Each structure stands twice: as C-alpha cells, then as structure tokens.
Amino acid sequence: MSRHRNVRSMNYSDEYDGYDDVYGHSVEDEYCVSPSEAAFMYDREGSKNKQKIGAFFQTVTDIAEENEADSEMREANLSDIDKARLESCIDQIKQIVGGSVPRQDLVNIVLLYNFNAEKAVNFILGCPQYKDVTASERKEKASTIIPKELDSSNIKVVTPGAKTTNVTKGFDLAHKEVNRLNVTPRSQSPASGRVTPINVPPTSDQNDEVKIFKTKDNKLDVAEHYKKERGGAREHLYMVVIGHVDAGKSTLMGHLLCALGQVNQKTMHKYEQESKKLGKQSFMYAWVLDETGEERNRGITMDVGRSQFETKTKLVTLLDAPGHKDFIPNMISGAGQADVALLVVDATRGEFETGFDYGGQTREHALLVRSLGVSQLAVAINKLDTVSWSQERFNDITQKLKVFLKQAGFKENDVTFVPCSGLTGQNLVDKPTEIELLQWYTGPCLLDVVDNFRSPERPISKPFRLSISDVFKGTGSSFCVSGRLETGNLCVGDRVLVCPSRESATVKGLAIEEVPHQSAFAGDQVSVTLSGIEMQNVSVGYILCDPQNPVQIASKFQARIVVFNVSVPITKGYSVVIHHQSLVEPAVITKLINQLHKSTGEILKKHPRCLSNNSSAMVEIQVSRPIALELYSECKELGRIMIRVGGVTIAAGLITKVIS
C-alpha cells in the first residue's frame, strides 16, 4: 500500500511547475517518468510494454452472449462440407423469411433439421417468436422488390411494419459479416459485433472454453456492480433544452431551478439587482445558466450551460443549448449527450411563426435532436401569458407542431405539450394558479412531464467508449477531459486509449457533477482526470476507448444520409462540415454511390449526378484527417453524423462502412 500512498501524496504542482505557462513546450519527459508513478503503473497493469498477447485472449469476447458463443462453437465444430451446406441453407431460408431471424438461431434450427432447408423454414414460420417479424417482412417483400439485396451491397435496408407510416429518419441496417466473427440480429442491440479487434489473431478452439467462462464472469460483474452502485439511487436523466433563439429557454430553466431551490436567494437577489442595472431585468433567470460576461451582455446563450435538479423519481441533468443559428455546433455537442429533449417555443404572435418557418431554429433543432437519437420530447409552449393564456393559440401551435414532429420521426405518444410561462413561473413546478389557464388546462406541470420521461437503457456491458466534449485543466495540476460515457463502464486506474491519436493514458480520477466516484457507467456525464498524456495531444471530439477493443479510425467512410431542405443540391466534391459527437471536421463528399428510396431503401438510381431536397442516398465521405468512429450497426451513438454547410444542417447520416 505504501506505493499507493506515494502516488497520492505526490506533489503534482511541484512536478509540473510552470507547465501551463510555456505554450507548445513538450514536457513529456518530466511528465511520465516520475519513478513513483512508474512503479505504480507496473504493478497495476503488469507494464504496458510487456503486455502479453495472452492478455487479449481472455478479454476479446468481453461481451459475447452465451447462446451466441454456443452456436459459434457448434458452427466451429462442423466440417468444411457441412459448413458450406449450412451457409447455403441459411441463404435459402433468408430468401424466404428475410434477415430478421437471428443467425445463431438459424444455425441451431438448421442443425436440428439436419440441413433440410424446407423443414427449417416450416419450423421458423410455425414458431410464434418469429411470427410477427417474418410476417411483416414477407408482406414487405411481396410489395417491394429489392434487387439482389443479398449480394449487391452489404447494407440491406428493411422497413419494419410499424414505421412505414411516418417518414423515417432512422435506418435499419442488417448485418453481414465483413470480417467479424459474431453477428447479432438487428432486433437486438447491436452489441457484440465488435468483439474481435482486427489486429488480434484469431483464437484457437482451445481458448474458446476459457473465453466463455471469462466473459460470463466479466459481464455479470459489470451488471452486478452497476446494480450495487446505482440500484438504490434515482434514475439519471440527461435533458437538453432546445428551441429558436429568444424562445426563453434559459429563462424557463433558470426559473425552474430557482423554484426548485437550486439557486440560493442571495445569488438570485444579486442577479436581479445586476440585471436591473443593465436594464435587462427580464434576463435575471437566464443568468442562472448564462455565466460568461459575453452571454450576459448580449442576452443570448452561446455555449451549452449545464445544471442539475431532482424530480420525484429522477435526477435530471439539464443541458441548456444555445438557440442562435451560429451556435448550432455547440447545440449539437450538447444534444449528443442527451437522453430526452425539451423543445421550447414562443407563443407570442409572430414569434412562433418566425421560429417555425423555414430558416427558423425550431425545425432545425427538432430534426437535429431526432437525428441524434433522442426519441422522447416535451414541448413547452412558453410565454403564453403574452397571449392571455389563450387556449386557441395553444391548440393552434400544438396542431402545427404535431404534424411537423411526426414527419421528423417522433412517435405521437412520445411527445407531450405543456403550456407555461418562464418569466412568471406559471405551471413550472406546481399546478397553475392563473384562472385563465385553469379554465382549460388540467394536464401535468412541466416538472411532472420531465418526471414522466422514461430513462433509456444504458449499454453498460459493451466495450468502453467516451467522447470528449471538453478539455480543461483540473483543480490540481493534471488535466481533465469531460464527456459522456457512451457505452461500457470505467473505473479509476483503468488504462484507456485516446483515439484517433492512438495514445494511451491512465484514468486517475473520475467525477460526476463534481463529485468523485470510483466507477462510472454508460450514460454518465463524467470528467476524467488523465495522466500519461499531454493536454495538447487531446482535443475536443476525440474518443477514449478500451485498449483491447479500440474504436475504428478512418478518414474515408460510407454513410447513408437523409437530405433535409437544401438550397443547393449535393454533388460529388461538395465540401461540408461534419459533426460527429462533439467533433467538427471539414469533409468532402467524394462519391454519390446510390440514390435510395426514402422509406424502403430501394436503389432508385446508381451514381446520381446530384442529391436534392428530401432524398436519401448512400455516399462516400472523405475527412481531412482521420477521425475515430464506429459503424452504426455496432454502436449507434458513435455511428451518427450530421452534415452542415454554411450554417445550415443539410443532412443526417449513419456510418455504414469504413473504407480507409
């Protein structure tokens, strides 16, 4: 233990004295070779240099599910001829029932019926668990002819029956082995595709046994640990507040925080006095979240402000996104971290219309959060006091928004509308007192709506990924990165790989909302203190990942994109800005591969000359320097991109293939 104490009591400020003053000065030498630290690292990890290849074997199939491994084994035991028969049987079956039946189930069934495809199909169609999937699949097959879908490309787009009504902004990708061993069915979470890093040699059969034991242990561990740590606490929810500029987002949230007692009286009084001095008293609540002098003077939010409050059942972290058009990049990085969204619209006559019409941010923000994977939305109809709580106005706005949000891909029962007023504080935390409102409104107040959101499932057992949204100097001498833990879990002392620079670092500390923790899980917003790497070498948009299961690094990839309203068509060679998590990079669309039908995914045209409004296509994108990313089929969070040009979001896309 004395070694550990050694590290703890090390005086960092002495070690790195003057480090931040010399910009661009390399301090690598003094930085890593602190002897006490080196000793510590050796014992902890068994030395990074001497890591044996055997270490990989035990953890490669980290998260494989049992049945998969099982069928995998059965598959592995077959002779070559049998394997070929198996493949051809599976192909036949797939042609009949579609790709929705998990592969390992298929393998089992085929083996059960001794390679008799006909019997296997009969079994599948008779089996109740596949009934609904296959039925909708077949129906669709009959109506749309998808030419050569099995071979022509490795992406097959299938529309599930339920989604056909709305214009889909999301896609479903079926899997086909590229160079992976395990394939998960689409219906399940696309978890285990990435279990074998390419650079690791394939394991022999002997190791399989050990592997399975290991994985089971490991997985149980994480789940149990999670339960132990978080089981009793309130569910954590991240909510982003979006809307057109001046819709009153910050004011609404500021008032909500005030009413919940998150801001003390003294500070509030100070804000009131100061804002009065500037002649902007209406901004006093907004100041709770807008902290920089610039934001206060101009009266608009520029960067995402964050705060926390509690409801009856949840712990909500609030991300107050800027509404102004020029700050959408900030808004995207904020929204990328959120589970749910609150859309604030201004009910004032004329204001709603400018925000909602073409060019207003209400539309763009809603489309963006949907494309970023947020599916639950609350709409706060703000400033209703200015139209004397008119029910007519409320209904009018709700109607318009409902149509639009449905188009954008939100399910109707995932959207809630709440009338409120941020400035007067009506219907925020308590039932309204305004008689005009009480006459017609009986629904829940804003806080209850937030409380009613379902927290999404956290993919804690997947390989660890964290996207960096901020790099800053910590309270001590070391530096911190903060961001959202997308998948997996992280403990203090873990080694992580910083991508795309492929440098490794050690986690020295973890903090969630300024409170130190020993471990963090998917979905958490953490700040991680890193050591063993220089601050200059880490920037916003980088991804921390598990060294054994690194993310892919690419500068050229294929994506399926949905084009929104564009004023100029997209051609090849079009230079755009892509947003991937917090990363903003210039890129060029180098090839238009296919134009696809928007909802069915059929190929409409090969090599189209250009893409215009509301089309969907498969394109090839080249980024100026390599970035860390994941296929959508493997990790939804890291497989999404937004494409913007000239301050307008022109498309959203999903990464389907990494080229180089």
Binding site for other proteins (CB under 8 A): 23, 291-294, 298, 302-307, 324, 326-327, 329, 469-473, 535, 538-540, 566-569, 571-575, 577, 584, 586, 588, 590-591, 606-607, 609-610, 612, 644-648
Question: Looking at beta carbons only, is 67 or 536 nearer to other proteins?
Answer: 536
The residue (of 186 and 484) whose beta carbon lies closer to other proteins is 484
Query: What is the smallest separation between the CB atom of 643 and other proteins, expressed in angstroms?
Result: 13
- Cβ closer to other proteins: 303 or 546? 303
Q: Name the amino acid, one letter, at 629.
A: L
Q: Which is nearer to other proteins, 139 or 298 (CB)?
A: 298
Least distance CB 296 / other proteins (angstroms): 11
- Name which of 172, 138, 145 is nearest 158 in CA terms: 172
The length of the chain is: 660
Cis before residue 500, ω within 30 degrees of 0?
Answer: yes
- Using DSSP's 3-state secondary structure scheme, residue 179 falls into coil
| Residue among 383 and 484 whose Cβ is closer to other proteins | 484
Task: Identify which of residues 97 and 533 has a Cβ nearer to other proteins in the complex.
Answer: 533
| Shortest distance in whole angstroms from residue 583 CB to other proteins | 12
State residue 473 phi and psi, 5-degree precision: -85, 130
In whole angstroms, the minimum distance from the beta carbon of 368 to other proteins comes to: 15
- Cβ(243)–Cβ(345) below 8 Å: yes
Q: Residue 568 CB, nearest distance to other proteins (Å)?
A: 4
By beta-carbon proximity to other proteins, the closer residue of 47 and 267 is 267
Say how far apart CA 104 and CA 433 lie, in whole Å: 59
Question: Per DSSP, what are the bridge partners of residue 580?
Answer: 583
- Tell me which amino acid residue 545 is: C
Q: Which is nearer to other proteins, 188 or 612 (CB)?
A: 612
CB 175 within 8 A of CB 184: yes
Which C-beta is closer to other proteins: that of 198 or that of 568? 568
Q: How far is the CB of 403 from other proteins (least distance, A)?
A: 26
509 sits in which H/E element: strand 503-512
CB of 51 to other proteins, least distance (A): 30
The residue written with tokens 């002495």 in the block is: 14
Burial of 390 (0-12, 13-18, 19+ CB in 10 A): middle
Q: In the complex with other proteins, which residue's Cβ is closer, 286 or 538?
A: 538
User: d(Cα 312, Cα 571) in Å, to the nearest integer?
Assistant: 51
Q: Whole-angstrom Cα distance, residue 85 to residue 83?
A: 5
The nearest distance, CB 162 to other proteins, in angstroms, is 34
Nearer to other proteins, 125 or 584 (CB): 584
| Closest approach of other proteins to the CB of residue 582, in Å | 10
Q: Give the span between the Cα atoms of 225 and 567, in whole angstroms.
A: 51
CB of 648 to other proteins, least distance (A): 8
234 CB-side CA count, 13 A: 14
- DSSP codes joined into one string, 272-340: HHHHHHTT-GGGTTGGGT--SHHHHHHTS--S-EEEEEE-SSEEEEEEE---SGGGHHHHHHHHTT-SE
Q: How far is the CB of 82 from other proteins (least distance, A)?
A: 41
For residue 486, how far is the Cα from the chain centroid? 6
DSSP characters for 154-195? Answer: S--B---GGGGGS--SS--B----SS-S----TTS---GGG-
Q: Residue 480 or residue 631: which is nearer to other proteins going by CB?
A: 480
Quote the distance between the C-alpha of residue 19 and its chain's center.
Answer: 35
Burial 157-170 (b: 16+ CB within 10 A, else e): bbbbeeeeebebbb
Task: Give min distance, CB of 567 to other proteins, in A.
Answer: 7
**What is the DSSP-derived secondary structure letter of residue 300?**
S
Q: Rounded to whole angstroms, how far apart are CA atoms 189 and 455?
A: 16
What one-letter code names the amino acid at 511? A
